[in-house]
Amino acid sequence: MSSFWSGWIIVISLFNIFGCAALLFWTRKMPVAHVDADNTTGHEYDGIKEYNNPLPRWWMWMFVGTIIFALIYLALFPGLGNFPGILGWTSHKEHDEGIAEWQAEYGPMYAAFYKQSIPDLIKDPKALRIGQRIFLNNCAACHGSDARGARGFPNLTDNDWLYGGTPDRIEETILNGRQGGMPTWGPILGKEKIEQVANYVLSLSGRDVDADLAAKGKQVFMSNCVACHGPDGKGNQMIGAPNLTDTIWLYGGSKSTVIKSITEGRRGRMPSWKDRLGPEKVHLVAAYVYSLSHGNSM
């Protein structure tokens, strides 16, 4: 912060505090031009008379106490521009001390879990409980508290994986995040061809479709979609292209939704949790997620 703005903050802060003190003592007992013998000002409404009495002493001294507290606080802690305070306290220092205390208390436990493989961790109830709590605090907003996902957010309790469901792939996904993308085909294919390819895509999972449209759609699919989804439509986990031959749909499997996905494309993003959670906590979350589809969920 520049010295100008630091000085500006100091002046404004102290002006307000001392201004309140001056206002308090100025209004202790206001001088009134006319005061009757009974100490009233002559103002009366509905039988209620206005007295020229000072502020209640308890109220005044409480106000004085808040002013003294404010001055002591600003002397001890940062609050006056660049002045760091006599105690030298900072939020960064407090945060670092808290992290150090946490690391000293829980670091060895997380380090021990990190040395174990995920298949071994899913047999450890304590490890799964910790992984579940981390999941609920960080992942449930998208995937749900039961990890069954929602439209656009994958169900983590089945065996359908966009990027692979092995322990290593799950951990890699959580650590680094994923950036999925279905390109927009509307301007390229046009409405007629999109209708055809949608029928073909639905036929891959055994849906009742227009056979003629599906046959034409297969040709469109082979010319434009096989690079990602493969010639058999089973997808590619290396790039996150979904399997189109099952009945699991990330954005919905109705014909209108499939047409919308092809026409407008989709943009999915899984954030990276490496910096926020660290590798040791991610390892436990990955173990918990892996357990959900391997019969060891809690």
Residue pLDDT, tens place only, 12-69: 999 999 999 998 888 776 666 666 777 787 777 888 888 777 778 898 899 999 999 9
282 with 144, same domain: the answer is yes
pLDDT at 132 over 70: yes
In a domain, 86, yes or no: no
Give the CATH number, domain containing residue 160.
Answer: 1.10.760.10
Highest mean pLDDT of the ranges 33-37, 79-83, 144-148: 144-148
The helix (H) or strand (E) run that includes residue 187 is helix 186-204
The helix (H) or strand (E) run that includes residue 269 is strand 266-270
65 with 212, same domain: the answer is no
111 with 256, same domain: the answer is no
In a domain, 69, yes or no: yes
- What distance in Å separates the CA atoms of residue 45 and residue 110, rounded to the nearest whole number? 73
In a domain, 84, yes or no: no
147 with 288, same domain: the answer is yes
Q: How many other β-carbons are positioned within 10 Å of the β-carbon of residue 270? A: 20
Q: Which residues, other chains included, contact 87 with Cβ-Cβ below 8 Å and sequence gap of 6+?
A: 76, 77
Shortest CA distance to 263 belongs to which of 207, 201, 216, 203?
201
Q: What is the mean pLDDT of the chain?
A: 92
Phi, psi of 215 (to 5 degrees): -65, -45
Encode pLDDT of 157-192 as tens digits.
999 999 999 999 999 999 999 998 899 999 999 999
160 with 197, same domain: the answer is no
The domain in which residue 28 lies consists of: 3-76
Phi, psi of 148 (to 5 degrees): -90, 5
- What distance in Å separates the CA atoms of residue 210 and residue 208, rounded to the nearest whole number? 7
Per DSSP (E only), the strands in 169-261 are: 178-182
Q: What average pLDDT does this structure show over 69-73?
A: 96
pTM: 0.74
Q: How many domains does the chain have?
A: 3
164 with 55, same domain: the answer is no
